[in-house]
Chain A
Amino acid sequence: MKRLDCLKAIYPALEDCAVVTIMGAVAAELYSLGHRANFFYLEHAMGLASSIGLGIALAQPQRKVVVIDGDGSVLMNLGGLTTMARSRPNNLVHLIFDNETLLSVGGGAPGGYRWFTTATATGTDLAAVARAAGFPRAQMVRELDDFEEAALDAINGVELSCIVAKVEAEMPKSFLMDVHMLENRFEFPRALQQPPRRREELQRPTRITKEQPTTIPALKSREE
């Protein structure tokens, strides 16, 4: 399964969403399909695309937020999965392209040769990790049809979802992106000022579930 084919399959469904991608191949390939002002490409800070998506989802509960992540980035912020799960916004979809490689930071090579794999190459199952973190829905897909069905279902649904797509460790045709990161940074919030057009079902508030009252027992400290 190729990342670009997956992106093509969901591209029309992203029109009304806030989309946050990681850097590198994912950003370049989504850009190659046609840039939109509601796409934000995080070109650094690996791991934080999902946290940015969580912040948007909590701040704009009526808008669907789609984070397009990678295995290397997710592994840098595994704790973030637990924060997403306990916050559980029903308007957030976490797509993870798992090529088992730190491709965009130099772990891949032409021809699909992988010389720096991630732990997903040796058995770590990120869908299982997300499920165990508390995601109400997390699944792994290996075929394009399955990806399309699962991702569109998640994007059109009202549940915090994680879809892990196993894809080839293939470089994009080009890393060229003719939108400066600061231009992207300023156009993105402007796009988010527009109300989403079709998300009536999301309009119920998604306040964070209170796990338990915060009671503070007498803390033990050397200062007491």
Chain B
Amino acid sequence: MPVSVANSQLVYDAMKDVGVTLVSALPETWLVHLIRLADEDPGMTLVRLAKEEEGVGISAGAHFAGVKSAMLLQNHGFLQAINGIVGVSLLYKIPLLMLITDRGSFGERDPWQTEGGKHTRPVLDALKIAHDDLTSPDDVPAKMAKAMTLAQSSLSPVGLLLGRDLMWEEPQ
């Protein structure tokens, strides 16, 4: 399966390095290794969600209780969670680290992903949620650290968009 194992591990390690000990997730193809790594790690609490908006509440609760958390979700999951992001994270000024797979961008072959791909960044921008792209393995640790730092200092949601070039290895 051409989801990058090495880069998933890199993202996972970077997430651990910034202190994340609880992740909530819904799967999508690019996230399978990240979720598996969380499941196999006795130092990580993995919450399998029924719907992404729950994860916003779970992360808020974890923050109140002094635990750093992250959400693993697809961009449609982000779009699904908007009301929670506005009504909890933004309204109450709560840090939220979202690792969002950036489906539907250049190179996308699944027609059903293409609409969500067009709207992810404009919606992030409309909500004034700081975001950056993760496309190169070299950038992962530093961008993860900076994203968590900003989330904690600004008490806001931040998004890291996991790109095709990072998560997907085209079969030769």
Cα A135 to Cα B91 with chains together (Å): 31
Given contact pairs A83-B54, A192-B65, A208 touches B45 in the complex (Cβ within 8 A): yes
Is B11 an interface residue when CB atoms closer than 8 A count as contact? no
Mask for B75-106, Cβ within 8 A of A = 1, else 0?
A: 00000000110111001111000000000000
- Interface members, chain B 42-78 (any A CB < 8 Å): 42, 45-51, 53-67, 69
Across chains A and B, the number of contacting residue pairs, with CB separation under 8 Å, is 149
Mask for A26-58, Cβ within 8 A of B = 1, else 0?
A: 000000000000001011110111111111111
Cα A20 to Cα B39 with chains together (Å): 28
Cα A204 to Cα B93 with chains together (Å): 32
A53: B residues at CB distance < 8 A: 61
- List residues of chain B with CB under 8 Å of any chain A CB: 1-2, 22, 29, 32-33, 35-36, 39-40, 42, 45-51, 53-67, 69, 83-84, 86-88, 91-94, 109-110, 168, 171
Cα A18 to Cα B66 with chains together (Å): 13
Given contact pairs A51-B61, A59-B61, A214-B35, A193 touches B2 in the complex (Cβ within 8 A): no
- List residues of chain A with CB under 8 Å of any chain B CB: 18, 20, 40, 42-45, 47-60, 63, 77, 79-80, 82-83, 86-87, 181-182, 185, 188-189, 192-193, 207-208, 210, 213-214, 216, 218-219, 221-224
B87: A residues at CB distance < 8 A: 44-45, 48
Cα A20 to Cα B55 with chains together (Å): 16
